[in-house]
Structure 1
Amino acid sequence: MKKILFSLVFMTGFVSFAQDFQGMAVYESKTSTAEFMKNMPKNRDITPEMQKSMEERMKKMFEKTFILNFNRTASVYKEEEKLDMPGQENAGRMMRMMGGGGTHYKNVKEKIYVEDKEFMGKEFLIKDTLPKLEWKLENETKQIGNYTCFKATAIKPIDESDFRNFRMRRRNEDEKAKETEEKKDTLSDSAKVTNFMDQLEIPKEVTITAWYSPEIPVNQGPENYWGLPGLILEVNDGQTTILCSKIVLNSKEKVDIKPVTKGKEVTQKEYNEIVMKKMKEMQEMFRNNRNGGHRGGFGPR
């Protein structure tokens, strides 16, 4: 009976939505850094006050606001432009240099997405097929704002070029003992960086939990999430939570929903390979202590 009622609500919603329907949703994205900081190699030169300040800056660096403009077939997802807080200028610049920001366009009718990213000073235009998650629809519901949302879960392969997915590798007792011994010696900056780089790892897959509302019957959501019978209002991957805080439907002011066109065109796989190759080069550079005056990057743009 519940499934029949759900279908009726879903179909009625689609009938009531006009051809020129358009909506806007505001999302707050937060990435937990607690586990990352917990497993970071300790530095005896860092005081508890400095450690706390670092944790706060890192936490703020991963707190962002995004705007999703959508119609029945396409959407544009973009970070809200705002001034960096005092002390956050370098962090914001680093996030953009490492592939953050950009405009994410997806068309669920044509099953494609287009995203622009800047990495190491070079602009890329990623064009590819929308990834299709095998969503499992659950009976559990909850209220998000004025909307009743249904739960859905899926297993998602990790995007290795998304730096939010980086984890600090858990160290065993032998590694911790070795680290304690190393603290007795004076380490060079390059050695400390090498230790840090060697501790990073990326999981192969992650469980996604999404909450969608059939009251807004569009096949859309934040980032590259789609494929559910209603707008996705919340997504969680255990590390990052994206939560809708505001929805405006059929505003008089219409937005031009179209993909960006600037940047070197690549597929997602090609972009990931470029990122991982550069990361390995940097890791090798630090390990061999060959970073004197060398900045890496791609050369002149």
Structure 2
Amino acid sequence: MKLKNIFFALLFLTNLTALHSQNGIITYKTKRTKIRKTSNPEMTRKITEEVNRSSYVLYFNKEKSFFKKVKNIPLYPFESKFADISTGANKNWYQFNGINKEAMYNTEILSKQYIINDSSRMKEWELFNEIKIIDGYTCYKAVNKN
């Protein structure tokens, strides 16, 4: 499963757990051994290293969730931008109401701030009745069909 899909799964799962009146803050790291290879093996190695150095925070309550990357000083600033794009962490994501599956992010275009609705990303998720307790939170399995 792509790392980006895992992030969206966490966002989606957070809203499912929020339906059970849970709320909180989750901080986590990723471990990635394989990313899309570039034509330059050294660049691929640096991107992978930046992905593995990154950490993320997910804030949630019963109505919404917010996902962002924790700021850090990259070892390789150029490759760090590619790492953020490959993980979906180049934007701060908001998700509202797990039933409607709305996902949005802010962006700046020509010095103006816009809220982009990217809910189409959330429509491809298949939910399962499999439950796992992670750090005291009830999580439901969700898989991206893409």
Q: TM-score range, shorter-chain basis?
A: 0.5 to 0.7
Query: Using a 3 Å threshold, how does the CA distance of structure 1 residues 152 and 83 change in structure 2: closer, same or farther?
Result: same
- Counterpart position of 1:296: none
Which consecutive residues of structure 2, in runs of 5 or more, have no partner in the other structure?
1-18
- Counterpart position of 1:126: 116
2:43/2:79 contact within 8 Å kept: no
* Match 2:130 to one of 138, 157, 171: 138
Question: 1:234-249 alignment to 2 at 5 Å?
Answer: none
Question: 1:92-107 alignment to 2 at 5 Å?
Answer: 92-94=80-82, 100-107=89-96
Please state how far the C-alpha of 1:56 moved relative to its aligned partner.
3.1
Please state how far the C-alpha of 1:155 moved relative to its aligned partner.
4.3
Tell me the percent identity: 17
Please state how far the C-alpha of 1:127 moved relative to its aligned partner.
1.2
Establish whether residue 116 from structure 1 lines up as the match of residue 106 from structure 2.
Answer: yes
Establish whether residue 78 from structure 1 lines up as the match of residue 79 from structure 2.
Answer: no
Give the Cα separation in 2 of the matches to 1:69 and 1:148: 13
Max Rg structure: 1
- Counterpart position of 2:25: 24
Give the Cα separation in 2 of the matches to 1:97 and 1:56: 15
Give the Cα separation in 2 of the matches to 1:95 and 1:118: 20
- Counterpart position of 1:154: 143
| Residue type of the alignment partner of 2:90 | G
Total equivalences in the alignment: 122
- Taking structure 1 as the reference length, the TM-score comes to 0.32
* Match 1:62 to one of 51, 66, 79: 51
Please state how far the C-alpha of 1:75 moved relative to its aligned partner.
1.1
2:57/2:68 contact within 8 Å kept: yes
3-state SS of paired residue (2:90): coil
Deviation string 1:179-202 (CA, Å, 9 cap, x unpaired) is xxxxxxxxxxxxxxxxxxxxxxxx
Please state how far the C-alpha of 1:72 moved relative to its aligned partner.
1.0
Please state how far the C-alpha of 1:57 moved relative to its aligned partner.
1.1
Please state how far the C-alpha of 1:67 moved relative to its aligned partner.
0.8
Give the Cα separation in 1 of the matches to 2:115 and 2:27: 24
Give the Cα separation in 1 of the matches to 2:99 and 2:71: 29
